[in-house]
Amino acid sequence: MNLSVLVGLGLLLLFVVTAGYFFYGLQPADAGTVKSDFKIEKGESFKSVGARLSQESLVKSITVFKMYALLSGRAQKIQPGNYELSNAMSLPEIVATITSAKRGDILLTIPEGATLRDIADALEDAGVIAKKSELVEFPVSSLRVDYPFLARATSLEGFLFPETYYFEKNSSADVVARKMLSVFASRAWPLLSESRDWYERLILASYLEREVPEYEDRTLVAGLLLKRISLKMPLQVDATLSYAKCNGALKGCDEIRVFRSDTAIASPYNTYKRLGFSPTPIANPGEVAIRAALAPKESPYLYYLSAPDTQETYFSRTLKEHNEKREKYL
């Protein structure tokens, strides 16, 4: 054979191998149908998205992902948001999913420390759900098969993970709850599931989210409150009184401020009168608060307060010292 024939055969072989690899890369990464909550941040680069898809084993080849996205003209059309992807989806299906945000999608940020009623209000105001009661009164039992961590739950309080979501207008409460619970399952549950008293730690995290701004202070308060439990002392968390007074809707509540007289109110959420944790979380905590609740730090303290002006947390060993700081900072 002369040189031109050999070159031609070599190029043909290279084309066949390249084409074969390309079509191989278009196939699902696996047939096991493992679902993944995949979040694309606003402004995240095409390269970064491809790298994470490969790292999470959602695509067979990052190179083929880039080639396909570029050749199909979708590389610049990737939309920020939360997506439910699986390794049983083909690469074209994945690219189509992350580049085709529907018209009318509503972008809504749920802040750390928002309560179930706060979230329901925001969803109703944004037109995501028709009535806030649909979410507030949603039957949790109907979700337990798919989300086993709800086995003990009597409401969705604490399980609606704070994050930025895309919702469709006029969604059902079931769709909204499942979207938020799926993020809880991927972000919070892997942390909590390692603790035998995980539900109490979730409740504790909700206290920390409402009362203590800084992580290190949160770990100290977590240790302090757990020590109170062991000593059979009331927890005396002011935020639980606010939750009770505002009927769980803290945003815009005129009664959120706590006074000494409020410590006598009759409520299962009154941690001044009632020993132990409240029946449910008092808010939906973020990942930082959950990590702090799972990493309590020992200290000599039994009391704390957070100054409303500076947000600084002050600790005390004795009630006398605590009352002096109340006079000074509150």
Least confident of 81-95, 119-133, 146-160, 197-211: 81-95
What SS3 class is residue 108? strand
Q: Which residues contact 230 (CB under 8 A, 6 or more apart)?
A: none
Per-residue pLDDT at 65: 86
Q: What are phi and psi of 289, to 5 degrees?
A: -65, -40
Average pLDDT, the chain: 89
Tokens for 111, please give them. Answer: 């802040």
Per-residue pLDDT at 268: 96
Return the higher-pLDDT residue of 20 and 191: 191
Per-residue pLDDT at 329: 82
Q: What is the residue-wise DSSP string for 249-289?
A: --TT-TT-S--GGGGG---TT-TTTS-S--SS-SS---HHH
* pLDDT(147) > 90: yes
Per-residue pLDDT at 32: 65
Query: What is the C-alpha separation between 39 and 49, in angstroms, rounded?
Result: 9
Query: What is the C-alpha separation between 235 and 241, in angstroms, rounded?
Result: 11
Identify which of 39, 317, 73 has the alpha carbon closest to the alpha carbon of residue 48. Answer: 39
Q: Which residues contact 44 (CB under 8 A, 6 or more apart)?
A: 78, 80
Return the higher-pLDDT residue of 45 and 10: 45
* pLDDT(1) > 60: no
C-beta pairs of 233-239 under 8 Å, 24+ apart in sequence: 233/275, 233/302, 234/271, 234/272, 234/273, 234/274, 234/275, 235/207, 235/271, 235/276, 235/277, 236/263, 236/271, 236/272, 237/207, 237/211, 237/271, 238/211, 239/207, 239/210, 239/211, 239/282, 239/283
Least confident of 9-18, 235-244, 313-322: 9-18
Per DSSP, 58 falls in state S
Return the higher-pLDDT residue of 167 and 235: 235
Tokens for 161, please give them. Answer: 């993970």
CA distances from 314 to 22, 242, 310 (A): 61, 20, 11
Q: Across residues 155-175, what is the average pLDDT?
A: 93
Instruction: Provide the CB-side half-sphere exposure for 122 (13 A, CA).
Output: 21
Per DSSP, 81 falls in state E
* pLDDT(178) > 90: yes
Query: What is the C-alpha separation between 330 and 327, in angstroms, rounded?
Result: 6
How large a percentage of the chain has pLDDT more than 70?
Answer: 90
* pLDDT(38) > 80: yes
Per-residue pLDDT at 16: 55
Per-residue pLDDT at 105: 73
Residue reference for tokens 């070599």: 10
* pLDDT(195) > 90: yes
What pLDDT, in 10s, does the model give residues 266-307? 999 999 999 999 999 999 999 999 999 999 999 999 999 988
Per-residue pLDDT at 111: 95
Least confident of 63-67, 160-164, 174-178, 200-204: 63-67
Q: Across residues 179-197, what is the average pLDDT?
A: 95
Query: What is the C-alpha separation between 203 and 222, in angstroms, rounded?
Result: 11
Per-residue pLDDT at 10: 59
Q: pLDDT-based confidence at 168, cuts 50/70/90?
A: confident
* pLDDT(189) > 80: yes
Sign of CA dihedral 276, 139, 241, 203: positive
